Chain A
């Protein structure tokens, strides 16, 4: 049962362009969403989060958009840099139910120079 879905296993973008990573969820109890970046042989690194009471959160080059009615969120990276090449995981939590982060399968972003 995939409560958090990242339907694109990979994305290739040129340096300087925008990267858009998408995530869909099915559980309407989710009220907090996070994006993590992961390099090989390392743990997930927290990037940015958004509460369900907001529709946008921005931090430098990273912006997360949340569309609750569509149960969809996206991470925008502008401008993309080669160092952004990694696996990006979307995660969600239903705070009323507990603390477990539910992860998507991840999208591998490749940024070419």
Chain B
């Protein structure tokens, strides 16, 4: 059964460093998403991506964040200068389409900012 994969499973970084989180969405899916879950809190939407551009983003997704689909399979989330409050689980998701869509999630990357 096809699944979304994410690497690394755990990333530890120093405050102010750049991190790149990687995702491989399900191959026939066209819409890609990043969510995060801070420990003990809700899963929160960050950004959606379609046709090589951002289609929607939340208030959390500020100038420190960027997304890219550098090739036909990977989808990345970059945080330019990490802050302590960026520590969270980051989930990538993908869906076939955008309307009445089931989004399928990857296992997540735990980001720890020290």
Chain A residues near B (Cβ < 8 Å):
32, 34, 36, 41-46, 49, 51, 89, 91, 93, 95, 98-106
Give the contacting residue for B55; candidates A34, A43, A98; CB below 8 A.
Answer: A98
Return B98 CB to nearest CB of chain A, in Å. Answer: 5
Shortest Cβ-Cβ A-B pairs, 6 listed? A43-B105, A100-B45, A103-B43, A98-B56, A99-B48, A44-B105
B residues sitting closer than 8 Å to A (CB atoms) are 4, 6, 31, 33, 35, 41-45, 48, 55-56, 58, 91, 93, 95, 98-108
- Distance of B7 from chain A, by nearest CB (Å): 13
CA A61 to CA B97, docked complex, whole Å: 27
Name A43's closest neighbour in chain B (CB-CB): B105
Question: In the docked arrangement, what's the CA distance between A99 and B42, Å?
Answer: 17
Contact between chains at A103 and B44 (CB < 8 Å): yes
Query: Is B91's CB under 8 angstroms from A51's CB?
Result: no
Cβ 8 A contact of A43, one of B42, B95, B108: B108
Give the number of A-B contacts (CB < 8 Å): 63
Chain B residue at minimum C-beta to C-beta distance from A97: B56
Interface pair A46/B56, CB less than 8 Å apart: no
Q: Least Cβ distance of A51 to chain B in Å?
A: 6
CB pair B103 A103 closer than 8 Å: no
Residues of A within 8 A of B100 (CB): 32, 49, 51, 95
> How far does the alpha carbon of A102 sit from the alpha carbon of B3 in the complex, in Å?
22
| Distance, CA A104 to CA B35, complexed state (A) | 14
Q: List 6 A-B contacts (CB under 8 A).
A: A34-B103, A46-B104, A51-B100, A100-B58, A101-B35, A106-B42
Contact between A101 and B45, CB atoms less than 8 A apart: yes
Contact present for B107 and A42 (CB under 8 Å): yes
